[in-house]
Amino acid sequence: MIKTLPSSLVLMLLTFCSIAVGDEAETPVDWKIGVVSVKITPERRLHMAGYAGRKEPAEGTEQDLLGKALAVEDRDGNRVVMVTLDLIGVVEQLRTDVAKQVEEKYKLPPHALLMNASHTHCGPAYGRDDAKDYFATLTTKLVALVGDALEQRQPAHLSYSFARCSVAMNRRTPSDDGFLNHPNPNGPVDHVVPVLSVRNPDDDALRAVVFGYACHNTTMGFRRWLGDYAGYAQEFVEKDHPGVTALFMMGCGGDQNPYPRSELKYAQMHGRSLATAVAAALEVNQRTRRHQRPVRGKLSSVLETVDLEFATPDRPDFAYPVQVIRFGNDLMLVALGNEVVVDYALRLKRELTKPDGPAVWVAGYSNVYSGYIPSKRVLLEGGYEARSRPWKPKLEERIVGKVHELIK
């Protein structure tokens, strides 16, 4: 026998269902996102950065070098722009010139601008006196890039996820003669591939991905322009997802190298491995995505410096930049300058990650480039990364302490 429900109960059920369906259909759109890219391949022969043994200028282009920008704005109008570059690093003058013009033209404060370089060793030595024309052009392009990204902001959803990739290997091998620059399968690594994905709110189509990895872009050292494995990874992600812009954020790879090396096929293989990890993080071809962490809330950013002391007498302290960008309580990006070794990422993620807190992403090679930042362990052990800059051992505690201070 079919029983008729009381009219009051029917009305209550219909109301509940309409609310539930409405909530699902009207997921709040917290963000406006703009993403653009620009070619920064030199148009004339220039000397190359990264390896001092290459005395002659580049001979041609194997792969175009790119600058890319992702502009993010929250509901309250707070903005951040992340710029990624297929370059050896962000020299201080480039950062200063771009940040100044961006603030003047677009009212974007310096703390809201993150500049990160992939550290490819097949890019131009653009800080040389004989590259001033390229430097000027690069600056102009990057300022316009930021403006274009801000201009193209559209409603979007953000989510964070990660996978793993085993391209990197620690390059510090202990021996009777100290620590050698040689692949060490027993050394510390950070194989996490963090991924920030941008999707359209109406059809859930992927628009852009920012992904990171902690490994030197040193597969190749020939005299041709090349983004190395990171360049290929971005290229493969964009080919696998037509219409998507892929941005590579370099991690704390100061003591990490890709192996094998020295053949172009390996740069391509490493790039494919990393692109596959990005696809895994995005849960491509899964009917239901279960590991995407929605990113919502208020956007905030802070950038300050901490003085690092040299061991060399009478050498002035180095003003080291530390930047923190927070996406509500869902994601926190810590950007450190120079060539930071992997110990910093492992420690900060260990100390900052909480069950009810934001996911923690630690990037290196951000906002300044002037040499290695060893951890206290690496500094005391010695070896290549420790010799390049005579820091006092307290530098790790100063940097980590500044990160904690900014987060508080």
pLDDT digits (tens, 9 = 90+) for 318-342: 999 999 999 999 999 999 999 999 9
Rounded CA gap, 105 and 94, in Å?
A: 16
Residue 11 has pLDDT above 90, yes or no: no
Percent of the chain clearing pLDDT 70 (strictly above): 93
Could you check whether the bond before residue 390 is cis, i.e. omega within 30 degrees of 0?
no
Q: Mean pLDDT throughout 78-94? A: 98
pLDDT at position 13: 43
Among 372, 323, 391, smallest CA distance to 172 is for 372
Q: Mean pLDDT throughout 158-185? A: 97
Q: Mean pLDDT throughout 24-35? A: 81
8 Å CB contact between 85 and 120: no
pLDDT at position 9: 44
pLDDT at position 2: 43
Listed by start position, the domains of the chain span 31-407
pLDDT at position 6: 52
Residue 1 has pLDDT above 50, yes or no: no
Rounded CA gap, 305 and 317, in Å?
A: 11
Rounded CA gap, 198 and 82, in Å?
A: 14
pLDDT at position 358: 97
Give exposure, 31-65, as e/b (b: 16+ Cβ within 10 Å): bbbbbbbeebebeeebbbbbeeebeeebeeebbeb
Q: Which amino acid is at 302?
A: V
Among 156, 158, 151, smallest CA distance to 102 is for 151
What is the DSSP code string of 213-253?
A: E-S-B-S--SSEE--HHHHHHHHHHHHHSTT-EEEEEE-S-
Q: Mean pLDDT throughout 156-180? A: 97
Residue 153 has pLDDT above 70, yes or no: yes
Q: Is 290 helix (H, G, I), strand (E, B) or coil?
A: coil
Q: Mean pLDDT throughout 378-399? A: 93
Rounded CA gap, 333 and 310, in Å?
A: 27
DSSP E strand boundaries for 286-340: 293-295, 299-308, 318-327, 331-336, 339-340
How far the first Cα of the chain sits from its last, in Å, is: 64
**What are φ and ψ of residue 222, in 5° steps?**
-80, -175
Among 236, 270, 253, smallest CA distance to 346 is for 253
Rounded CA gap, 69 and 331, in Å?
A: 19
CB-neighbour burial class of residue 22 (10 A; exposed 0-12, middle 13-18, buried 19+): exposed
Query: Which positions ≥6 away from 16 have C-beta within 8 Å?
Result: none
